[in-house]
Amino acid sequence: MRVLLSTWGSRGDVEPLAGLAVALRGLGAEASVAAPPDDDFVELLGRAGVPLVPLGPSVKSVVSGEKPPTAKDAFWLAPELVRARFEVLGKAAEGCDLMMGSGLMPAGVRDVAEHLGIPYVYACFQIFGLPSRHFRPGQRPGTPSSEDETDSEVLWKQDAERVNGLYGEALNAGRAKLGMPPVDNVRDHVFTDRPLLAADPTLCPSEGMTNYDDLVQTGAWLLPDERPLPDDLTAFLDAGAPPVYVGFGSMAAHAPSDIARVATESIRAQGHRVLLGSGWAGLGLVDDADDCFAIGEVNQQALFRRVAAVVHHGGAGTTTTAAGAGAPQVIMPRIADQPYWASRVADLGIGVAHMDSTATVESLTAALTQVLTPETRARASEVAGMIRTDGATVAAKMLLER
């Protein structure tokens, strides 16, 4: 059996598919991943032994400017990705038995699958974007809904209209070239009636939270990481008490201003050492004191078991990895679903949601004061035992049975 998994987005959109591909391979299937051609993702998939099908522009080229991407950028990117999916996936999917769309609104994947007569599945990594009676849609480029509007049916209808405005013209142009009729609701067409939710049920409870009666939650798709930590990092960890880790992943222009200095001063005020993850924001040391250390990309599954706390942006992957390691968290959400993960961490008692978009030494110190307590550490350890690690295998078996 051959499976083509497709995504476009940050590491949190690519790594779960790598985990699923490895699980599928373990069950005898062949799986490849269509993803952005960023060097980080090439290395990630190569390390996992998963073939990469380059799809669309690199994510770094879109998000790593001095300022965050604008609405104008979104109205360029959306149709560009749709056209890329028709062109790239139409060739890559030949001979496949199943196609999956995930990541940033994968309009075009289902359409290629239907044209080739291949079953299609949509997967998401949180419930934030799924229509629901319990929360408002997230922000998208286009005409915003009124803050006074409270009718969920109206709000989600307007969300569908914004999706159509971004993707509809390009999608229906691609379908027309294949002799297929137009689609009038791109979002619902992409999501299908039975999406897969690849998120841990403790961190992201879904029952009754969306408008989908047939939503299937498998647990998060984790990619096992057996890499040892670098020798210099291990030496730093062994030289003293566990440090506090600070990293913002692929949040380049979105990282809080001056966060390296603010975090260093706040963590030192708590009597802890500092570990900075450079990430796409390029966080670096603010001085040459020996209580601070900076790292690039490493095995976070191993690292987070050795830190006092994790300060991060609240991506689904980082949140799940920290929770599974039993590390207390301070989440400083920047965009999209990150406020949701921040609120879940706070609700579970395993960390603090720093919801202010700016960070000061005072605000981060206050958050760390709450997190760096024996009570929070004990609760984080308790929740770690609840985090499922078999989500990718559950999903792989389900897909093969389909």
Report the pLDDT averaged over residues 235-264: 89
Contacts of 390 by beta carbon, 8 Å cutoff, 6+ apart:
219
Report the pLDDT averaged over residues 263-281: 95
pLDDT reported for residue 335: 86
Strand-pair category, 196-197 with 309-312: unpaired
- The answer to whether the beta carbons of residues 87 and 40 sit under 8 Å apart is no
Yes or no: domain 2-220+389-401 corresponds to CATH 3.40.50.2000: yes
Closest CA to 79 of 191, 159, 143, 166: 166
Name the average pLDDT for the chain. 95
pLDDT reported for residue 68: 79
Portion of the chain with pLDDT greater than 90, in percent? 91
pLDDT at 253 over 60: no
Report the pLDDT averaged over residues 352-365: 93
pLDDT reported for residue 98: 98
Report the pLDDT averaged over residues 268-286: 94
Report the pLDDT averaged over residues 239-255: 85
Report the pLDDT averaged over residues 217-240: 97
Report the pLDDT averaged over residues 302-315: 97
pLDDT reported for residue 45: 98
Beta-bridged to residue 53, according to DSSP, are 34
**Amino acid in position 232:** D
Strand-pair category, 2-6 with 30-35: parallel
Of 252-256, 380-384, 385-389, the one with minimum mean pLDDT is: 252-256
Report the pLDDT averaged over residues 269-294: 94
Q: How far is Cα 145 from Cα 82, in angstroms, rounded to an integer?
A: 25
pLDDT confidence tier of residue 254, bands split at 50, 70 and 90: low
Span(s) in the chain for CATH 3.40.50.2000: 2-220+389-401, 231-384
pLDDT confidence tier of residue 252, bands split at 50, 70 and 90: low
pLDDT at 291 over 70: yes
pLDDT confidence tier of residue 67, bands split at 50, 70 and 90: confident
Closest CA to 267 of 241, 238, 300, 231: 241
More confident: 166 or 358: 166
Structure tokens at 180: 């297929």
pLDDT confidence tier of residue 326, bands split at 50, 70 and 90: very high
* CATH, domain range 231-384: 3.40.50.2000
**Amino acid in position 64:** S
Q: How far is Cα 138 from Cα 113, in angstroms, rounded to an integer?
A: 28
Look up the pTM and report it: 0.95
